Amino acid sequence: MRLDVECDGGSRGNPGIAGCGSSVLDGDQEVAARWEFIAKATNNVAEYQGLINALELAIEVAKMRGAAPSELEIQVRMDSKLVVEQMSGRWKIKHPDMKPLAARVKELEATLAAVTYNWVPRAQNKRADELANRAMDDKVGGRWFDDALSFQPAADSASAGAGAGAESAEVATAQATPAVPAQTAPAAPKGTAPAPAQEAASSPEWHPGGKPTRLWVLRHGQTEMSVQRQFSGLSDPELTAHGQEQAKRAAAYVAGQLAGSSGSAGAVAIYSSPLKRTRQTAEAVAEALANAGGAGGSSDAGNATGTAGGAADKSRVHTTEALIEMNFGDWEGRTFAEVMDEFPLEHDACLWDSSAAPSGGESPDDVLARVRPFFRDVARNHPGEDVVLVSHVTPIKSILRHALCASGAIYRTLHLDLAGLSVIEIFGADGAVRGGEVGVQNKDSAVVRRVNDTHFLDTETVR
């Protein structure tokens, strides 16, 4: 199998805010694209990162088509003479910033059948350049896949609840979905300009509500109960060592994005479920924000007003019951298989009806009812600000359900990974959206830009 990739990177300041873009092509048809924002980097670092992203994306496309990396040949096209010559072995790699990036490229090369590097003039690398500039302009990254690709996750990647919104157990047929920012229309065919509507949707300026409140909604990292595929609602396990690593990686990524978009991460408010696994994840975010430019802001319940911090103060992460996981009642601590065996009729009802609840527990609709007021309080009290929310599967699905005006089917059809990141923008607490197609009223004008993004976790860390 052969795929072509085009990649580019740029820096405004060199070093300064940076971005990279990568496009995967099958012949002349673009089948996937990725763009990444980097808070501060040189042009050469951004170029290398674009190459790494391109190779990883091509491998992912190959897997979607049922091909192993060892069967994949990649033709790389770049307008960076430096990267092409260094990766072709004709020039030495001397700069310390380049060496680990080049080593990562070589690791990826070792898994592939062949990689060939070709230098092209800048004029022939416009798509990758466009993606890199999009990342720098929007100060956020994203990915896009052609609809014809069939995403087939590994069997052991199931870690997000389907059905009644389980924390860890899930229906065996549930599929993970590639993270695609909602603001991004499918990429235009190579060499063609996107339609005006697509251009408008790619930037928040199209919306009349002014600068939005941006929610960075993060699921907690791995616990022993998630490893065992147990329903974990109000039980309070801590993160495993692996879960702590997931939280650390996610936190570093979020902090880097916020430092780049606002110039300072210090005034960012952080809200968390009161359970240990979410608090530990939120504390990792607070620490990363402190390292990036000041501690996360804090606030009191129901009156969300972020305040800038100094040194990291993990105790200032605000906890709220609105973000606590669904109460699974008699299902708590049981595996999916055990619930199917012990509560077959009840489970079937909860799977298909979001108003149904496990014995002694809550329904997903109950969770939605407590999430909605919190959603509006955050928008009202943090106008135009970035806010980090750390929560669990069901509350996050409820937030997305509300933002999308979706039906209760979202609880069984949407997959959320451990440490997965979703991004939502709210344009005022009483914006232009009125009602939903399924009768779910949403008086908040919301745009979902990303769902379940885990690109900052390597393959093993996602598990």
How many Å is the maximal CA-CA distance in the chain? 68
pLDDT of residue 439: 40
DSSP 114: E
Q: The domain that contains 345 carries what CATH number?
A: 3.40.50.1240
Structural domain range at position 125: 2-152
- Give residue-wise pLDDT tens across range 129-143: 999 999 998 888 888
146 has a pLDDT exceeding 70? yes
Q: To which H or E segment does residue 160 belong? A: none
Task: Let me know whether 207 and 327 are in one domain.
Answer: yes
Q: What is the pLDDT of residue 144?
A: 86
CATH label of the domain that carries residue 109: 3.30.420.10
Q: In this structure, are 83 and 186 located in the same domain? A: no
Answer yes or no: is pLDDT of 293 > 90: no
pLDDT at 166 over 50: no
Where is the domain boundary, 100, 121, 152? Answer: 152
- Residue-level pLDDT at 204: 44
246/140 same-domain check: no
What letter would DSSP give residue 267?
T
Q: How many domains does the chain have?
A: 2
Query: Does residue 95 sit in the same domain as residue 216?
Result: no
Domain end, chosen from 107, 133, 152, is at: 152
Which of 114, 135, 152 marks a domain boundary?
Answer: 152
Q: Are residues 218 and 128 in the same domain?
A: no
Answer for the pair 74, 59: CB distance below 8 angstroms, yes or no: no
Least confident of 169-173, 427-431, 448-452: 169-173
Q: What is the pLDDT of residues 213-235, one digit of tens each?
A: 999 999 999 999 999 999 999 99
What separation in angstroms does the CA of 363 have from each of 161, 240, 332, 438? 14, 28, 14, 18
List, by residue number, the catalytic residues. 220, 325
> How many Å apart are CA 31 and CA 384, to the nearest integer?
34
Distances, alpha carbon 49 to alpha carbons 11, 104, 118, 138, 268, in Å: 12, 10, 17, 18, 27
Residues 220 and 360 grouped into a single domain: yes
**136 and 190 co-located in one domain:** no
445 has a pLDDT exceeding 90: no
Whether residues 165 and 147 share a domain: the answer is: no
Q: Is 104 annotated as a binding residue?
A: no
Residue with tokens 């997903």: 364
Q: Using alpha carbons only, what angle is made at residue 401 by residues 400 and 405, rounded to the nearest 5 degrees?
A: 120
